[in-house]
A and B are shown apart, each in its own frame.
Chain A
């Protein structure tokens, strides 16, 4: 099993450009999450999904959109990138929701917006 993979690993964007980050998991997990990690701060939840075809807003959803057309994939889109979106983005998945279900994390995507 590859676990949770993310594409790309690094990206530099100019302000106003768009891009999509891809997350894939091969563990048949129902729940998937997108977080951002900024220096001196904990991970913050951007959007999440409780199953194929569903998405919901997390703590910091503005400026991002997501889609979960297939159970194994969770896409994070930036329609018009801003310097404030410079961050490391982590995708995670869990078998179910609930505190007893471990979240498995991908290796992250480092995004710089100039």
Chain B
């Protein structure tokens, strides 16, 4: 069935790069997303990648997609304390349906 898996925690030092990994199961997904949830707030779309792309860069964010392994990663360069949040990987297997992972809590140590 459809499933999105990601590790639950990641801790990095301020200024380092963070890499959050995700695996998904539905190879037909056309869009893959990264959402960010800050404390007490709803999810906010951070970035997305089309399934026909291998990489997408947006300022400090780099998304890598390995379709063969169904692996998605989000790299945050020069991680700041303001990046501390929960990051959700999600896929869209068709229509409006979106399948979310459980979220990776990123801790940034000053």
- Tell me the A residues contacting B by CB distance below 8 Å: 4, 31, 40-43, 45, 48, 90, 92, 94, 97-103, 105-108
Q: How distant is B99 from chain A, measured CB to nearest CB, in Å?
A: 7
Does B65 make an interface contact (CB < 8 A)?
no
In Å, the complex CA distance between A97 and B96 comes to 5
- Tell me the B residues contacting A by CB distance below 8 Å: 4, 8, 29-31, 40-45, 88, 90, 92, 94-103
Q: How distant is A45 from chain B, measured CB to nearest CB, in Å?
A: 7
With a cutoff of 8 Å between Cβ atoms, the chain A residues found around residue B41 in the complex are 107-108
Q: How distant is A37 from chain B, measured CB to nearest CB, in Å?
A: 8
Interchain CB contact (< 8 A) of A103 among B4, B29, B45, B99: B45
Q: Name 7 extra pairs, CB < 8 A, besides A99-B29, A102-B45, A103-B43.
A: A4-B42, A41-B102, A43-B100, A99-B94, A99-B96, A103-B45, A107-B41
CB-based closest 5 A-B pairs: A105-B42, A42-B100, A97-B96, A99-B92, A99-B31
Q: Are A90 and B42 within 8 A (Cβ)?
A: yes
Main secondary structure of the interface of A (DSSP, over half): loop
Q: Are B31 and A100 within 8 A (Cβ)?
A: yes
With a cutoff of 8 Å between Cβ atoms, the chain A residues found around residue B96 in the complex are 31, 48, 94, 97-99, 101
With a cutoff of 8 Å between Cβ atoms, the chain A residues found around residue B31 in the complex are 99-100
In Å, the complex CA distance between A103 and B45 comes to 8
With a cutoff of 8 Å between Cβ atoms, the chain B residues found around residue A105 in the complex are 42-44
With a cutoff of 8 Å between Cβ atoms, the chain A residues found around residue B42 in the complex are 4, 90, 92, 105-108
In Å, the complex CA distance between A87 and B4 comes to 20
In Å, the complex CA distance between A45 and B93 comes to 14
In Å, the complex CA distance between A11 and B101 comes to 26
Closest to B35 in A: A105
Interchain CB contact (< 8 A) of A42 among B29, B88, B94, B95: B88
A42-B43 contact, Cβ under 8 Å, with A94-B96, A97-B96: no
Closest to A3 in B: B42
